[in-house]
Structure 1
Amino acid sequence: MQVSIDVIIPSFRLEEKYILPILRLPRPADAAVKFYLIVDNPSIQPSAAIRELVDHTHIFLLVNEQNMGAAETRNKGIDVTDADWILFLDDDIAVSDDLLVVYAQAAIREPAATGFIGLVQLPPPQSLFTKAIGISGSMDIFGIAEHKSSFAWGATANMMIRRSAIGDTRFSTAYPKSGGGEDVDFFLRVRERNGFENYRTLPQARVVHPWWNNEKVSFLRPFRYGKGNSWLGALNPQYTYYDFLNTPETVLLSLLAALLLFLAGSAWAWPVLIFTAGVLAIELVASAVQTVKRGATAHPVIIGYVTALRLVYETGVLWGKLSRMQPGKIGERFHDDGIVNKVFFYRSNTYRIVKWVLYPLLAWLILHHTSA
């Protein structure tokens, strides 16, 4: 039995060190494979080495007339391809030589599967900042294939999906062009279309994704992802629920309350400001406990980075909601594991327990001091 696989690679950079090994991947004998390199940067010129590989039979090069963003570029790939299976790969990954073989064997073995989530590995972190990223859990989806037999969605860096399962579903263009949330949205909607069947994980289909920005400190990416992910609940309300306010939400409402109390001439303005400062201190304590538990380290800089990464991401989500004039979405959360459950206050963990033990204690101390 032979299967057909079309590999879609959206690219803005066209770096030879990543693109050439992907285009040169060994093709399995039991699969017809075509590559579609879609350039989302009309100002860039493909190198001679890349152009030499393009034969418009097995390897195709398409250049967008203008920057369309990741979602529309992948949609373009879906529309121009025709294979049984579509393999999404990022343009900055190091691929294993057997990648196509592993995917082809999985497709032959399970032809009715909705799709397969490959493994995306990150190199061992060399900086305190990237160690903090790993501990924070923000990139856990990359390694989901190592920890679960199936899941509701996967990273477009390395994931194969059955074309007939996709149907007319496409990546939503409501999300920011720079990315964030559109992959979760797409794979959840395809999953719904196929009876809510999870995607199978395939840890043998392995790629390595480099750390961003040469492991330098940068908080732009988590903020951007937060803004993008703020759309998830608005476009997929069936997965939303309400929970305790997170730290940025609590700080925002506390500052607004303090401002109103100041304008009213109330003596309670200062206690509310003290509570706000205490909320930030509690966030640091809770993050420290979680960092020690997850990362087996109490390095103060790593704890600071873990705290900042969460705050920046959650602020991005909050900013996205407020920028769309949706104050009612404050406190709304999203089941990115595909659970349709409207129950309030859904999850509990060490981080949350520490916060919600210390919050009442902080409030009691402020009230006690104020009344005294």
Structure 2
Amino acid sequence: MAKQVSIDVVIPSFRLEEKYLLPILQLKRPESAIIRFYLVADNPALVPAEAIKSLVDNEHVFLTVNSRNLGAALTRNKGIEMGQGDWILFLDDDIVCNADLLETYVHAIEQYPEEIGFIGLVNLPKPGKSFSHAILANGSMDTFTLAAKYDSAAWGATANLMISRKAVGDVRFSERYPKFGGGEDVDFFINIRERNGYRNYKTLPAAAVAHPWWDNENANFKRFFRYGVGNSFLPQLNPKYAYRDLLDGPETLFMAVLATIVLSVINIHWLAPMLTLIGGILLIEIIAIIVQALKRKVKPSLATFRYMVQLRFVYESGILWGNLTRFRLAGISQRFNFDGSFPKKGKIFETNTYKTIKWILYPVLVFFIVKRFM
């Protein structure tokens, strides 16, 4: 008789919202599988609702409340350690699952038992506001839809991803990343991938969940700044995937501001041309982002373009801030290959429309400043 499939569903949560968690905990469980839910609340002040506590039987549904806020990485590690199932399914605490989600994953295990893991699909609602349109247009949430575009990928979103415990081994989410999240998920999955001969995770679009927009689609840039700060650790902790690139917008402005301060101290007459340079850098960045957006056939909208510019600057400023606060100047201009590939030998810079536009316009800017002030 074939061994029953056993899956530990790990759900880290800060809110324990009934409207999302109750349907997840009550998902249909395939008869051919042993399903256990491990709900880990990372908020010591929480008082679980009676409806949630009524489902906790410490046999199929387990609940633990952290005595202190541990952050995203350690909370997921705690969930991993709580179970012993052959497979671990990570789900976010604010998703709506297809009714057959667990059946789909069990069927995938039975069909492809040697895979190291399966990346499910995370669908966002159709955008209703310009900020959400900008998030989709600039590719911020492309990780959510990897399963709809590729047969496999090097990592996926912890909102909906199942992984083999055997493949995981002793790999855990790193404590070196910020507690508020960012980068630790990429680090975790690429390290497991490396441990298993660099095999990608199989995508599983049929295993679908829906994820709501954050903050009712109102503009909120904190999340994307935090992503930037967290992702600034990736090249440092995983140098084999790191490479050098041309300076991005915030890095260029940072260098320009430093140069302005130094040159103005030496001679105040440098102030006017350097301030012109800073203004020109901002203008060129905006033009390059908008041109790239038009090439991607983003529906023209002043509000969407404005948010796209802001999102890019906020995210890249998070990366710069993360490096500067660690006094890691070597992180400036360092990038990370999120597709899990290694940098090509002999190739210094990656090119795209955004960069091409910038480095055509920068010489024009310098020429203008020289003619105007020199």
Fold shared by both chains (TM-score > 0.5): yes
- Is the contact between residue 121 and residue 208 of structure 1 (CA under 8 Å) also seen in structure 2? yes
2:124 maps to 122
Cα distance in 1 between the residues matched to 2:36 and 2:268: 70
Cα distance in 1 between the residues matched to 2:112 and 2:358: 45
**Cα RMSD after superposing both structures:** 1.2
Cα distance in 2 between the residues matched to 1:294 and 1:140: 14
Aligned with residue 339 of structure 1, among 336, 341, 362: 341
2:30 maps to 28
Counterpart AA for 1:354 = I
2:372 maps to 369
Counterpart AA for 2:128 = Q
1:319 aligns with 2:321: yes
Deviations 1:135-175 (A, max 9, x none): 01011000111111111100000000000000000000111
- Is the contact between residue 149 and residue 200 of structure 1 (CA under 8 Å) also seen in structure 2? yes
Aligned with residue 354 of structure 1, among 357, 363, 366: 357
Give 1:294 deviation, angstroms.
Answer: 2.3
2:242 maps to 240
Moved more, 243-252 or 282-291: 282-291
SS in 2 for 1:118: strand
SS in 2 for 1:267: helix
SS in 1 for 2:219: coil
Cα distance in 2 between the residues matched to 1:369 and 1:42: 61
2:58 maps to 56
Percent identical among aligned pairs is 53
1:71 maps to 73
Cα distance in 1 between the residues matched to 2:204 and 2:310: 33
Which runs of structure 2 are paired with 1:12-161 in the superposition (5 Å)? 12-161=14-163
- Is the contact between residue 73 and residue 174 of structure 2 (CA under 8 Å) also seen in structure 1? yes
Give 1:280 deviation, angstroms.
Answer: 0.6
Which runs of structure 2 are paired with 1:198-217 in the superposition (5 Å)? 198-217=200-219
Give 1:346 deviation, angstroms.
Answer: 4.0
Gap runs ≥5 in structure 2: none
**Count of matched residue positions in the alignment of Structure 1 and Structure 2:** 371
SS in 2 for 1:78: helix
SS in 2 for 1:308: helix
Deviations 1:298-346 (A, max 9, x none): 2111111000000000001000001001112210001111112165544
Cα distance in 1 between the residues matched to 2:67 and 2:173: 19
Cα distance in 1 between the residues matched to 2:107 and 2:207: 11
1:10 aligns with 2:12: yes
Deviations 1:178-200 (A, max 9, x none): 11110000001000000000111
Per the normalisation by structure 1, the TM-score is 0.97
Give 1:355 deviation, angstroms.
Answer: 1.2
Per the normalisation by structure 2, the TM-score is 0.97
2:280 maps to 278
SS in 2 for 1:32: strand
Counterpart AA for 2:365 = L
1:255 maps to 257
Give 1:295 deviation, angstroms.
Answer: 4.5
Aligned with residue 292 of structure 1, among 291, 294, 306: 294
- Is the contact between residue 246 and residue 349 of structure 2 (CA under 8 Å) also seen in structure 1? no
